[in-house]
Structure 1
């Protein structure tokens, strides 16, 4: 049940198809409940009309033959559901008449037509007749009542009488003959007690199957453009170029695709404008800094000159770092599929070769589509931070169904819990002296998070005992 609910929540196709089927079944059920009584009444009315018509026809036939043959003519007109016989009394007792009808229905039709079972029930007859096994006369006595003249029932004479028995599953007709006797006709057929024994459930099932097939085709035509839009949005969210979507389908979906194409065009235009602006800013900032450096070289006081050159160098470093961050956010490096575990391992080996204590915990190979140069820079920033503040770092790759994590752990002093997010702010440093000896200028984590978010992921920091855990979480 939980899996069905999960599928219901996650799949628009299932919701649409299930809603259509529920609406179908509910509407059909309501319709059948409303019309069931009328359906049964119409069946009974039709059967009684046919019974009256046939009774009138057999009565006319009997009147045309000699009296000695009349009983035989009546007997051979019997069917699976009807019995004919001639009685001397045109106005019999109701219970006696039903008893006679019950005895004749106990005789199998074949025996009755052969003349071997007239009025004499045979052993095991209940298995071959309409009478249920083990039934007694009480079955026919239920609902026994005269129904008066057969008004509108064929062309019966006015003296004809009709009756119901067996809870209206049976009907009788008594037609007086010209010689004072009467033609008796009994009809019995078990009506369907429930809807499930009619053709309606089969018709409903076939309708549901047909509606399901049509619904699946319709839903797929609606879902297909939405899935394309989802994939395009995921690709665009990772900074990749997306081919403009083809506007197709209903108006709502077509307008959505057109809006997505316009949004993508605006984003690309914004990135291009920002890139050109950054190039202009970089040129304009370097020119006055170079001029200041040249003028500082002319200062005669060595101490003052040194301080001025250091300040200019810091300003230039901050400017270059800021431009680097802004360029990284608008980076257009192409994406390609790489062995992510090999990339992480190579970073750890490069740092280990220059004397830093970095350990890579190997795992399974993971192929991933990304911008490798940018991701390499993000991972390297995290590892270098861990080595700078803890002396060593342990790096591993964790792959799950929904995400891929590049985990960097250290045993250093960590970061206060209330400042785990602040460290991602540009130019933020926990060490307040701003000395280049104790760290950079505070853009490393900002750049690393910008790169991770360009890939649709993020960087998550959490405390260890002792130390810090930094994880680059990428969508699988």
Structure 2
């Protein structure tokens, strides 16, 4: 967002400076003073008038014994004499300047050998005009920058608000209600975001109610199917029916469990993570799963113990069943507990990696016949870990297998 603010401010500054610079250039061109060459005509008229006055009333004219001191300007002298010749006079007048701070002086020779000295002002500036222009543009740039920063901040304020709201989205995927205050554009953005939040919350709750209702409603027909399956005469057919019914029950129970996790608000408690992992690994070993705990460190995390146990157990069972064997490691670093679960399975194709947390996702639907499960284990695990302010990442191993990485913040005591 800072880059966008900077770009907008820079664009405004450049636009303002270019417009003001262009207008300044046009005004300087239109209102420019006459050049030195152009001012020589009126000066020549004054020289001729003074010469006539000196001839008619010599006692009323202040004269000098010698011409003005200083360096003669050949260029201005030539211009002046050219204007005098245009007016029919061959007067050998000259223009000189004593120093940079003194004005130009016209020396007019008289027939008596004396001189008339006539100072002339600098109509066009001799130097410094570009310094004035650069100072003017610098002031314009400074003022334009202040205005541009102010305008850019107001323009991106709704976007900043949106960015803050996105960052504030909680584990329930709904952002908090925003206060409707501030400038008009911020109020409009706050109202729109609050309305969006309400609609999202209503949609999520409606979806959860549908899933929960479907899970509960499935229990009754599943129970009837189980009773009828018990009366199937053929043992092999009865076993197949009961296996399918158990899978349906697992799906219904997992759907209800997912709803509970997404809508539940149980208070967290301090949980010894290392002890919990040891219990899960020991339990799965007793059930015949090929799983080992390679390393563990004492760590305390804040979470719902039963929910966190369910999540870690689901992930461990996935590794021990789909991945043939599982290795569990737990270590701490920078205030975070890192749990790594590796297996020896075939992994997941790269193009399917983005779908692994979707409900009822399976890499190969044919696995349903060999490995039981509802397809909601990873979805439920991610929801639980997210509510515990943790993260879960899954990636393929370097050669074979899958690596499940869980990060949970440690509670400092």
Pair in the same fold by TM > 0.5? yes
Q: How far off is 1:267 after superposition?
A: 0.8
Match of 1:289 among 209, 218, 222: 222
* Superposed CA RMSD: 5.4
Q: Answer yes or no: is the 8 Å Cα contact 1:161–1:175 preserved in 2.
A: yes
SS in 2 for 1:260: helix
Q: Answer yes or no: is the 8 Å Cα contact 2:109–2:116 preserved in 1.
A: yes
- Distance in 2, Cα, partners of 1:394 & 1:49: 99
Q: Answer yes or no: is the 8 Å Cα contact 1:396–1:406 preserved in 2.
A: yes
- Distance in 2, Cα, partners of 1:215 & 1:472: 46
| Equivalent in the alignment of 1:30 | 22
Determine whether 1:434 maps to 2:368.
Answer: yes
- Distance in 1, Cα, partners of 2:52 & 2:313: 109
- Distance in 1, Cα, partners of 2:282 & 2:37: 100
Determine whether 1:231 maps to 2:143.
Answer: no
Q: How far off is 1:105 after superposition?
A: 2.7
Determine whether 1:221 maps to 2:154.
Answer: yes
| Equivalent in the alignment of 1:348 | 277
- Distance in 1, Cα, partners of 2:127 & 2:204: 74
| Equivalent in the alignment of 1:276 | 209
CA separation of 1:418 and 1:192: change in aligned 2, threshold 3 A? same
Gaps in structure 2 of 5+ consecutive residues: 286-290, 409-413
Map 1:381-460 to 2 at 5 A: 381-388=314-321, 389-395=324-330, 408-410=340-342, 412-415=344-347, 417=349, 420-421=352-353, 424=357, 426=360, 428=362, 430=364, 432=366, 434=368, 438=371, 440-449=373-382, 459-460=393-394
- Distance in 2, Cα, partners of 1:420 & 1:412: 19
Q: How far off is 1:48 after superposition?
A: 7.8
Q: Deviations over 1:9-56 (max 9, x none)?
A: 951221122112222333344345445566663585999899899989
- Distance in 2, Cα, partners of 1:21 & 1:419: 47
CA separation of 1:423 and 1:60: change in aligned 2, threshold 3 A? same
Match of 1:357 among 283, 286, 292: 292
CA separation of 1:433 and 1:206: change in aligned 2, threshold 3 A? closer
SS in 1 for 2:155: helix
The alignment's TM-score, normalised by the length of structure 2, stands at 0.67
Q: Answer yes or no: is the 8 Å Cα contact 2:105–2:120 preserved in 1.
A: yes
- Distance in 2, Cα, partners of 1:27 & 1:220: 22
The alignment's TM-score, normalised by the length of structure 1, stands at 0.60
Instruction: Count residues with an aligned counterpart.
Output: 386
| Equivalent in the alignment of 1:205 | 138
| Equivalent in the alignment of 2:178 | 244
| Equivalent in the alignment of 2:288 | none
CA separation of 1:399 and 1:462: change in aligned 2, threshold 3 A? farther
| Equivalent in the alignment of 2:411 | none
**Greater relative contact order (Cα < 8 A, sep 6+):** 2
CA separation of 1:179 and 1:195: change in aligned 2, threshold 3 A? closer
| Equivalent in the alignment of 1:319 | 252
Q: Answer yes or no: is the 8 Å Cα contact 1:357–1:392 preserved in 2.
A: yes
- Distance in 1, Cα, partners of 2:92 & 2:30: 25
Determine whether 1:461 maps to 2:390.
Answer: no
Gaps in structure 1 of 5+ consecutive residues: 1-8, 72-84, 88-99, 107-136, 152-157
CA separation of 1:272 and 1:175: change in aligned 2, threshold 3 A? same
